[in-house]
């Protein structure tokens, strides 16, 4: 079944090529397509386009379809082009002419726009919750290792004193910025496109404010031309936020791969978190973190790929957008899995506590000596030259213990401040609002979530 079928046959290979992966990818959108159809049917009933009886019958059948999807009994049949066609096909088979009326006042264009936005909104919420769990794990590690010193590096050379508290905490604070990015993506996405039809609005008296409320959107896509032109742009904004999270995960994984190596030996992994070699019996390979790094880096390429597909497209719908759907939708599950496996793998990490006793790291304390001399009254440049001379002449020594208390120092990684930043980042918008609206909407079709 094809919603655009006019009775003229299409060459089989052309049909196969243009359908692409729609049937497969659209299964990710199935629940959301039915949810949007429930809201649309209620609106058609309230607007007098459907009778009360027609609305009730359509809602009842849509509720059954939703339950079939939820219980994995739903399929997009061979020969049916996409999720929209399959749902309308089912309604037509069960309700006859009444089932055909559901497409009144909308197009596949605003249907898929809506489905993607509903899917994206839900998946962003899922990612937020997973990120908060990983964030708390990183802050716990930061607190636990606040006083364990390690060398800091610049240019991949031993530089100055740092701590594992600062190192772990840096990734927690990075996630705060990632959440801010996701929040912006949420707001760009949280606009209702339903009722904009093919991108030029509808001559039917559709109530788009009503569907906005029913679906729990924060606002409305007002201009129908822009609603259609937002296809590709909205996904790009979201992909940038996903890539930001992936960047944090990739950098964490890369550091761990480096620090676990025998030349560093800062970290060790539990045996169950490593793999071995087929010929070298001593090997304990950090494959999990290498694959986290690689898969996260692959996600980081997503914004560039999306930009290329949608580059220089004029206003209006283009079939190019089909490729965007199959690129973006699976990315949420990929990133969710990376967050989960990162949290799991962190449980198997052990930190070496005596690193700074090694002779090769003694110059990490040079800045400590310079700063001590400055605190005793010596100008900084003179103190710098004195310590540099001692290093050159082989006379440099550091005694005592570094004692830092200011926020963001090796003695005070500032985990409470970072936690406060995360609380502010996740405070707005209220991510629970759409879920409440959708549950209320589904009840009208006889579905309890």
| Other beta carbons less than 10 A from residue 332's beta carbon | 19
| Other beta carbons less than 10 A from residue 84's beta carbon | 27
> Within this chain, do residues 403 and 426 fall inside the same structural domain, yes or no?
no
What are the residue ranges in the chain where pLDDT is below 50? 1, 3-4
Task: Please provide residue 350's backbone torsions phi and psi, each rounded to the nearest 5 degrees.
Answer: -120, 140
Q: Give the orientation angle of helix 108-144 with respect to helix 415-425, to 10 degrees.
A: 170
> Within this chain, do residues 400 and 298 fall inside the same structural domain, yes or no?
no
Pairwise CA distance, residues 282 & 264, whole Å: 17
Q: Please indicate, yes or no, if residue 82 is contained in any of the structural domains.
A: yes
Structural domain range at position 387: 358-413
- pLDDT digits over 122-168, tens only? 999 999 999 999 999 999 999 999 999 999 999 999 999 999 999 99
Structure tokens belonging to residue 223: 């201009």
Q: Please indicate, yes or no, if residue 139 is contained in any of the structural domains.
A: yes
Q: Please indicate, yes or no, if residue 199 is contained in any of the structural domains.
A: no
Close Cβ partners of 313 (under 8 Å, ≥ 6 residues apart): 232, 320
> Within this chain, do residues 302 and 393 fall inside the same structural domain, yes or no?
no
Q: Please indicate, yes or no, if residue 247 is contained in any of the structural domains.
A: yes
Pairwise CA distance, residues 235 & 183, whole Å: 14
Torsion region of 316: left, alpha or beta (phi above 0 gives left; psi -120 to 50 gives alpha): left
Q: Give the orientation angle of helix 233-259 with respect to helix 164-189, to 10 degrees.
A: 170
Close Cβ partners of 200 (under 8 Å, ≥ 6 residues apart): 224, 225
Number of domains in the chain: 3
Contact 27, 84 (CB under 8 A): no
> Within this chain, do residues 137 and 256 fall inside the same structural domain, yes or no?
yes
Q: Is the pTM of this model over 0.85?
A: yes
> Within this chain, do residues 288 and 175 fall inside the same structural domain, yes or no?
yes
Looking at residue 4, its pLDDT comes to 42
CATH of the domain at 345: 1.20.200.10
């Amino acid at each position: 079944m094809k919603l655009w079928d006019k009775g003229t046959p299409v060459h089989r290979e052309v049909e196969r090529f243009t359908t692409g992966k729609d049937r497969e990818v659209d299964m990710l959108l199935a629940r959301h397509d039915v949810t949007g159809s429930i809201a649309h049917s209620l609106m058609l009933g309230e607007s007098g386009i459907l009778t009360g009886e027609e609305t009730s019958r359509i809602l009842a059948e849509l509720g059954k379809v939703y339950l079939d999807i939820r219980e994995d009994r739903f399929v997009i049949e061979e020969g049916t082009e996409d999720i929209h066609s399959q749902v309308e096909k089912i309604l037509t088979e069960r309700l006859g002419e009444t089932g055909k009326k559901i497409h009144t006042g909308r197009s596949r264009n605003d249907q898929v726009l809506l489905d993607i936005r509903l899917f994206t909104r839900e998946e962003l919420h899922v990612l937020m919750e997973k990120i908060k769990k990983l964030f708390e794990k990183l802050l716990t590690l930061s607190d636990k290792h606040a006083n364990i010193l390690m060398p800091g590096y610049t240019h991949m050379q031993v530089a100055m004193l740092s701590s594992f508290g600062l190192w772990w905490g840096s990734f927690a604070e990075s996630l705060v910025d990632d959440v801010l990015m996701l929040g912006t993506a949420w707001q760009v996405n949280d606009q209702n496109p339903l009722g904009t039809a093919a991108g030029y609005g509808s001559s039917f008296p559709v109530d788009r404010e009503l569907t906005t409320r029913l679906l729990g959107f924060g606002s409305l896509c007002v201009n129908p031309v822009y609603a259609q032109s937002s296809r590709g742009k909205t996904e790009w904004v979201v992909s940038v936020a996903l890539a930001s999270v992936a960047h944090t995960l990739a950098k964490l994984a890369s550091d761990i791969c480096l620090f676990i190596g025998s030349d560093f030996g800062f970290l060790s992994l539990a045996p169950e978190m490593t793999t071995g070699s087929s010929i070298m019996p001593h090997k304990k390979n950090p494959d999990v973190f290498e694959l986290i790094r690689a898969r996260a880096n692959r996600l980081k390429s997503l914004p560039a790929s999306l930009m290329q597909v949608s580059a220089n497209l004029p206003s209006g719908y283009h079939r190019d957008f089909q490729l965007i759907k199959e690129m973006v939708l699976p990315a949420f599950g990929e990133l969710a899995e990376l967050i989960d496996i990162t949290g799991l793998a962190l449980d198997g990490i052990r930190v070496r506590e005596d690193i700074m006793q090694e002779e090769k790291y003694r110059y990490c304390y040079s800045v400590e000596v310079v700063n001590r001399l400055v605190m005793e009254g010596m100008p900084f440049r003179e103190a710098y030259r004195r310590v540099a001379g001692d290093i050159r002449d082989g006379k440099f020594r550091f005694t005592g213990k570094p004692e830092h208390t200011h926020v963001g120092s090796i003695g005070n990684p500032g985990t409470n401040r970072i936690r406060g930043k995360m609380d502010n980042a996740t405070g707005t918008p209220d991510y629970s609002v759409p879920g409440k609206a959708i549950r209320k909407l589904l009840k009208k079709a006889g579905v309890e979530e």
